[in-house]
Structure 1
Amino acid sequence: MFKKLSISQAVVVVLMGMVIAVLLVTGISQRVIFDSTTEDVIQSSSREINKQVIMNYENYINEVINTANYLSTQTIELSEDGRFVDLNSMYEQAAKLSEDMVSIILFSAEGDVILTATEEAVVSDVMSFDWFTSAFNNPEIFHFSTPHQQVIFGSSIYTEVITVTKKVQFYDQGLLQHGVLMIDLITVNLIELALKTNLGENGHILILNDQSEFVYASNPECTDETCESKIYVDNIILGGDSVKLGEDYMYVNINTLKNTRWRIATFININNLYEAKQQATFFSTFILGVSLILSLGLSIYLSQRISNPLNKLKNHMQAIEQGEQMSEIEISGQKEVVALTKTFNHMVVEIKQLMQNIVVEQKEKRKSEFQALQTQIHPHFLYNTLDSIVWLAENNMNKEVVEMVIALSRFFRISISRGKNVISVKDELEHAQHYLLIQKIRYNKKFDYKLDINPKIYEYTIVKLVLQPIIENAIYHGINSEYEQGMILIKAYPQKKNLIFEIENNGYGITPERIAELTNQMKKEGQAQSVGLRNVYQRIKLYYGKEADIIITSELDEMTNIKIIIPMRKEEVDEKNS
């Protein structure tokens, strides 16, 4: 997969992958630790609160049981001595000392009142009440009723009470009797005990007896079997757990109250802990997002620090490949990139030196070829021209002799040009014109020529002997003198930043295949059939570079056109060629 990515992309992918992995592991670990710690805090604090609530209620219940045990013991002792008056006073005193105990009564097994600490008369048959029968059925324990309206006095004379009963013994006229000690406790103290503990908003206490009946519910809305809290407690016997009731998160602890067979459930509001948990989750997510963004930015920065110098080096190489001037690149980047750049710059220096050596070598080669061409042209051309002059003189064609001698003189004067390789365009065209005149006379006017020159190009310079070899080819290979007079047209004009020279003849023409062959031979090194054309092409390419070119076009039996394109240049030349 990485092979298809750039270095910068690969660096970003790898770094981001590592960062994401680290952040995920860290985030998940922190979340697990936080959740575990939060749960431990919730459980610990809930257990402590529940423990405190149970302690408060058990202390209260133990006080009642201790009072009942004391009364039970004193009942049998004082009754045995017949001191019922003292015993009755003790009952009254116990009721006065405890605001919660609104009535203390000793009943016989038949339900008759033996002793009482209240002035109200009992009018009901107490043997039909559960609290009475339960005491006889289970004499070993205290029995706590659910809150109820006490009706044994004919009407309710006080608020709801919880009736506590215990089977006791007493003496009546010397005989040991069995009875029931009844203590009525007002329930207001249950409320006060609940208010002593902070259970949070909507936190509450629920107390149920062994029949799952309501003993007390601090939540005023929890009054029947449809109460969510009661339904939850009914399904769980003992223990603690988190639960959502309505819109609130609660932690519930369920335990038993000693000596009562009651279950007490504390519902503690833990919304603040859940909110802290949610805030921590949001904060962790926010930190994770910010970390990812920062990591992405850092990854991109690092990748660019690595890849930018490489891209710069690559772009520089591509520019050189596409033909731009070869140059060294500024050294920057990491250690490895710096080493690579130095190697590239060293290579550029070496290549430039090699290219310079090649250019010098090629120039020397072209100079030798050019000199060889001049040596080849001048003697051959001179012999033929002198033969023609002799022939003209023998035939008394004095005018033509004069023209040829003048043209030949000027032709050689420009050819020599004091050994310079670059001459003015004007001299090059004049050189070509002298050559055409000499050849026209030699060929007995079997062809004519025409010049179409834009004078604006005279101010520019050109490599010497560019036109003459092409004109020579046009005369020797392009003129069909047997059927019609030949015509050679020379055009020279500026075009944008170039100089255009066209040599056109009305000869046989060339096939497209032959044009392709000539073009191929012209552009490759080595010997070729068209030595003059190749020599001109190689020289202008060497001197002017890629901007110079030669284009061949032709139509069979119509014409052949050789177009020479060179860039405009102005160089200092000696106007006097003699």
Structure 2
Amino acid sequence: MLITYQISSKILVQQTIDSTNQNFSQISNKLELIFNETEELAELVVTNSIIQQYTSIKVPAHSLEEHRNIQEVKDILSEIKGTKDYVDSIMIFANNGLVYDSGEISVLSMQSPITLKQHSVRATAWRGVYHSNYTLYGKQLNIVSFFQRYNSERTALPLGTIQINLRESWIRKQYHSVDFGQGENIFIVNHDGRIVSHHNPSNLYQSIKSQPYFTLVKQKKSGQRVTLDNREYLVVSQELPKLNWTLVALVPIENILAVNNPLMRSFLLIGFIMIASVVLITLLISNLVSKPLKKINHVVKEVQNGNLDVSLDINSRDEIGVLAKEFNKMVRRTKRLMEKVVKEQEKKRKYALISVQSQLNPHFLYNTLENICGLAEMEQKKEVIELTHKLADFYRGVISKGNQIISMEEEMLISKRYLEILSIRYKERLTYKFIFNPEIFNYQIVKLSLQPIIENAVRHNLKDEEDHIYIEISGEKRGDQIHIFVHDHGEGTFDKSIESLLKEKQEKGNIGFGLYSSSERIKQYFGEQYGITIHNNPGKGTSVEIIIPAIRQGEIAHV
């Protein structure tokens, strides 16, 4: 009886951990989905043509036109808000000095409660639970807000900031149904250990740093036990990465083991009546408990190994049967989500190169066409034909029949044509040399990996008429990797790292954004261990190194 009690207790505790983790995963997935939908909703609002129009103009204050504009925007915001039951309100802080809302609220401030980064065209931010910057029926609420700066789609000028608010009570509702019996405690804390959502709203904003379980939560040690007020609890936690939150459950151990008490009493009663009956019943109960658990264990391992086509065939009506049904639902949802993620990643890869091609500096094409016109005016027919062929060859290589992965030889020819065309403009100020081992010509590379690096070197070093630059492009195979170097012998230095380029505003004069784009595309296709590294040599120029896996053409499309 003691052994059975110990085994069943451990099983019940583990069941509680697994069940809580599964419930938490469902809650996390739902919150993540809602947060993503909120961001998409913000994009839908700020691209609305009427909102774009009315927030980009300034009309006389307190005029009929101002009142009409505010009311029409409010109607649109109210209609959009009505499509999402989890949205409490929508507000727009426009640069024309007006604040628009979705109705039924009183705005406390004419400015957004947070300041978004200035170096991003469409900066976004989430703000955790806080007292609302507006009142609803005379009361302030505990809300979570998403902020996004938006610009005019016609002029690209900044128009204002949108704020979409979700009530903390709605977030609490997502885990309110999770029940571990009397005395359970479920709440959400932020990275500072402050409570941002709780079963009991009066506990909001309190800190758990002084609690003995805070270290377990901070160190992500889920499933551990802790003693609070002479009572033992099971601590289960799971991260909510979107807002850097952690979902925490404190489950009394006595509640978990409560189902064992009637069992023990039955064992004692039967033991006094008949020892044989005790043995028989013990074996029967052990078999009934262990068999479905073994099925669960086997199926869970299959899922851990990546097999999402399995299911738990348990039709009982007890906790294990409920657990099996929820597990099957979770596996099906996970499979659908993974398939969706794979499709979305494929779409991102498909349009990544199109985005890069559309960002090719238009001044390059303009200058080339002007050079062609100049040669034509001087009646240099041969040079016009030659330059036109080079320009056509360059853009033919850029298009590459829509292929995003091309051979090293094709990439080198695109870069060579690019430099040949630049040489027409810069003449003797630009010299270059290709040093490639022919054995790497048939290996794969992401198209247009070299062109942004070469463009960066030329633009950085040929700012003045007296500047000169010599560019050396080389490549070789080292083990199972291809290393390509673009070294410029210009007088200047470029002391930016690839990581720092993400923080810079993409605007005229930003000579490093193309490098970051190339590095990210290489990582997307081949993995995070590959990409671009910048080696700065003061007084000797700058070397940019590209590292990619050695994959021959035709072997695979991408890694």
TM-score range, shorter chain: 0.3 to 0.5
Higher gyration radius (CA): 1
Higher helix share: 1
TM-score, length of structure 1 as denominator length: 0.41
TM-score, length of structure 2 as denominator length: 0.42
